[in-house]
């Protein structure tokens, strides 16, 4: 079945450090890929998305590129801030389906 695997956390960084969270997926066909962020005490928010191979999603300084050859969608940010402390979820949705399959989530803590 479809699945998403994320790097395990927690990840602790200093402000202005570079962040990478690895995400790989298993799915048939051409799924859409997403990164969601969950700030403490809140629901999930869509951070960025990509719908086809080589698409790059970007938002709030975060980027992720849909790599079909490596079935990956790694999240990156060049200079993190304390406000980026959150749990990050990678997810996929198959074409013509409405269900999202989520990874386990990666907790990121950024220290001042």
Q: Is 104 in the site for another protein (CB under 8 A)?
A: yes
Tokens at 64, concatenated: 């992720």
| Degrees to nearest 5, angle at CA 23 with 65 and 69 | 55
**46 or 82, CB closer to another protein?**
46
Query: Taking contact as CB under 8 A, which single stretch among the options 22-30, 45-53, 62-70, 77-85 is the one that binds another protein?
Result: 45-53
Tokens at 26, concatenated: 């298993």
Candidate residues 46, 61, 78, 79; the one interacting with another protein per rule CB under 8 A: 46
- Are 64 and 75 spatial neighbours (Cβ–Cβ below 8 Å)? yes
- Are 20 and 74 spatial neighbours (Cβ–Cβ below 8 Å)? yes
**19 or 66, CB closer to another protein?**
66
Q: Is 73 in the site for another protein (CB under 8 A)?
A: no
């Amino acid at each position: 079945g479809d699945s998403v695997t994320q790097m395990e956390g927690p990840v602790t960084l200093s402000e202005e450090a570079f962040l990478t969270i690895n995400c790989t997926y298993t799915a048939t066909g051409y799924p859409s890929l997403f990164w969601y962020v969950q700030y403490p005490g809140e629901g999930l928010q869509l951070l960025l998305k990509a719908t086809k191979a080589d698409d790059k999603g970007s938002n709030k300084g975060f980027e992720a590129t849909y790599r079909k050859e490596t079935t990956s969608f790694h999240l990156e940010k060049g200079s993190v801030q304390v406000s980026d402390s959150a749990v990050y979820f990678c997810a996929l949705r198959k074409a013509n389906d409405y269900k999202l399959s989520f990874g386990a989530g990666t907790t990121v803590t950024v220290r001042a």
